[in-house]
Amino acid sequence: MLLAIDIGNTNITLGFFDGDALIRTFRLSSQPKRAVDEYAMIIKTILRESSIHSLDSAILSSVVPPLTPIFEAMCIGHFSLMPVVVNYQLDMDIRLSIPRPEGLGPDRIASAVAAYGLYGGPVVVVDFGTATTFSVVTENGEYIGGAIMPGIGMSIDALARMTAGLPEISLNPPERFIGDDTRSNLCSGIVFGHVGAVEKILKGIKRELGSSSVRVILTGGFSGIMKNYLRRYKVVPELTLEGLRMLYERNKTCTS
């Protein structure tokens, strides 16, 4: 059983793979102050409740530096596993054709690997996480860059924190552009504004690629809401976990 760990700024996503099959996922909040033993206890509880008897391998992607050694220590100390840690130097079936590949987030590497491996290129991954990111892979498997914009959750938090009269809200999918109270105004502006920005950026990416036949894959925590407004694109919620599995298969000898 492979444990895939995707550590994001807001959430940690755990995926449990039996061969190619993702049989269980679990999300918890990213908390650097939790100890190694606390995270180990959470994972052991998941294993017990899911009737998973053992783990034999692990791979780790992290954009939160303080959490990386915690999860490495947990894998080694509690499960006797040396995890593959995702970075730009791993063996992968795409080429990172950007000036500073060491600066590319490991989650974006994993999702780009999965998108190209599953669907070929040219392909764009739009990841609706803490930030909304665009990752572009050409027909020949070259990762050439992308874009980053404030995410939906970040927009909600910023409006609540930086304005005196706007509340922090739970986002509901808006049905109309014209809201009739503060909450529906916020939902409309945040969601439809995000949709417009995503479509504008995708249009520019396609123009710069010189192709209209570009696959677009939506993923990330807010993709479940955004798919209602971006219906022509494919939604793969666990794309990053799939990429981690693929990266592990190509790099598992690194841990032996």
DSSP string over 182-196: HHHHHHHHHHHHHHH
Same domain? 68 vs 23: yes
* pLDDT on residue 160: 75
**Among 85, 116, 144, where does a domain finish?**
85
How many CB atoms are closer than 10 A to CB 4?
Answer: 29
Distance CA 197, CA 230 (A): 12
- C-alpha distances (whole Å) from 8 to each of 107, 147, 191 are 8, 18, 22
Same domain? 62 vs 119: no
Unique residue bearing structure tokens 């710069």: 208
Q: pLDDT, tens digit, for every residue of 52-66?
A: 888 999 999 999 999
Report if residue 57 sits inside a domain.
yes
Q: 125: closest CA among 212, 209, 218, 206? A: 218
* Residues annotated as part of the active site: 107
What is the average per-residue pLDDT within 185-189?
Answer: 89
Q: pLDDT, tens digit, for every residue of 188-212?
A: 999 999 999 999 999 999 999 998 7
Report if residue 255 sits inside a domain.
no
Same domain? 134 vs 230: yes
Same domain? 76 vs 133: no
Prediction pTM value: 0.91
Same domain? 13 vs 129: no
Report if residue 22 sits inside a domain.
yes
What is the average per-residue pLDDT within 26-54?
Answer: 91
Contact 84, 58 (CB under 8 A): yes
Report if residue 256 sits inside a domain.
no
CATH number of the domain bearing residue 156: 3.30.420.40
Report if residue 190 sits inside a domain.
yes
**Among 85, 105, 124, where does a domain finish?**
85
* pLDDT on residue 153: 85
**Among 85, 116, 147, where does a domain finish?**
85
Phi-psi region of 245 (alpha: psi -120 to 50; beta: other; left: phi over 0): alpha
Please name every residue paired with 123 in a beta bridge, in sequence order, or none if there are none: 137, 215
Report if residue 193 sits inside a domain.
yes
Same domain? 183 vs 115: yes
Structurally, the chain folds into a number of domains equal to 2
Same domain? 123 vs 231: yes
Beta strand 11-18 pairing with 2-7: antiparallel
Same domain? 113 vs 238: yes
Same domain? 51 vs 128: no
Q: pLDDT, tens digit, for every residue of 113-171?
A: 999 999 999 999 999 998 999 999 999 999 999 999 999 988 888 887 777 667 676 77
* Strand blocks (E) in the chain: 2-7, 11-18, 21-29, 57-62, 84-85, 95-96, 123-128, 131-137, 142-150, 215-219, 234-235
Same domain? 108 vs 165: yes
Q: Residue 180, exposed/middle/buried by CB under 10 A (0-12, 13-18, 19+)?
A: exposed
Residue span of the structural domain in which 80 resides: 2-85
Same domain? 141 vs 206: yes
* pLDDT on residue 255: 60
In one letter, which amino acid is 98?
Answer: I
Report if residue 146 sits inside a domain.
yes
Same domain? 184 vs 228: yes
* pLDDT on residue 256: 53
Report if residue 210 sits inside a domain.
yes
What's the whole-number average pLDDT of the chain?
92
